[in-house]
Amino acid sequence: MGSLCQVTDAVIVDSLSRASAAVGDLIEKIDGDQWTAPTPCTEWNVRDVVAHLHGMNLVFIAVLEAGPMPERGLDRLGTEPAAAFRRSAAALQTAAARPGTLDWIRASAVGDASGVERMRWRIADLLTHAWDLMEATGIQAEMPDDLVEQSFEFARIQLPNQSRVGRFADPQPIPDEATLIDRLAALTGRPVPWPKPISTHTT
């Protein structure tokens, strides 16, 4: 694996496209009662997680284009959440692919960050929440191993220098032989395996 500093705009846009496609395929498989199932993100159900992924695509588009932030509190998923996610993902890829878009460095709540660094966080967020969705629904989906590994290494280096407050819980213990995506989940504060809540619903 190459240096974390040696990532070109073209590579990051391709990586974003592949991560978004894999997550979109996962969302396509969600059905029925799975949408209201609890997730490792304790305040969110499955639909909430998908809404977050869709909404953050819109936020990153606004950041890249220096445009207005999307209004909060709106249900933008509609009756076809997977299609809504794919549209926002495609729009983000278009924004990121414009020449020069990822070259700037701007201040943020977690320090100065380039457009490439922001997109690397976007990819890590997509893959981590994909783990949340798989744990919550039991759906098996393949995330690109190279992107999971790159996201784990990127987060492992970046997180010690940043506050986790409001973003991540403390890292959780994980065996060395754990899968790449389990290690990413544990690094970002998820207990692995996730102790799925026992339903108290009765008929």
Calculate the average pLDDT of the chain.
Answer: 89
Cα–Cα nearest to 145, from 22, 12, 11: 22
- Domain count of the chain? 1
> Does 2 map to a domain?
no
pLDDT more than 70, % of the chain: 88
Whether residue 139 lies inside any domain: the answer is yes
**Position 203 confidence tier, pLDDT thresholds 50, 70, 90:** very low
Quote the CA–CA distance of 190 and 65 in Å, as a whole number. 32
Residue 200 has pLDDT above 90, yes or no: no
State residue 16's pLDDT score. 98
Q: What is the pLDDT of residue 4?
A: 45
Is there a domain that residue 3 lies in? no
Q: What is the pTM of this model?
A: 0.89
**Domain presence at residue 172:** yes
Q: Which residue has the higher pLDDT, 161 or 50?
A: 50
Say if 145 falls within a structural domain. yes
**CATH number of the domain where residue 156 is located:** 1.20.120.450
41-48 long-range contacts, Cβ below 8 Å, gap at least 24? Answer: 41/129, 41/132, 45/136, 46/133, 46/136, 46/137, 47/77, 47/81
Angle at 153 between CA 152 and CA 156, to 5 degrees: 85
Domain residues for the domain of 52 are: 9-187
Does some domain include residue 194? no
Q: What is the pLDDT of residue 198?
A: 76
For residue 180, tell me if it sits in a domain: yes
User: Residues 122-170: pLDDT tens digits?
Assistant: 999 999 999 999 999 999 999 999 999 999 999 999 887 766 555 677 8
pLDDT of residue 23: 98
Model pLDDT for residues 71-117, shown as the tens digit of each residue = 887 889 999 999 999 999 999 999 999 998 898 777 655 567 788 99
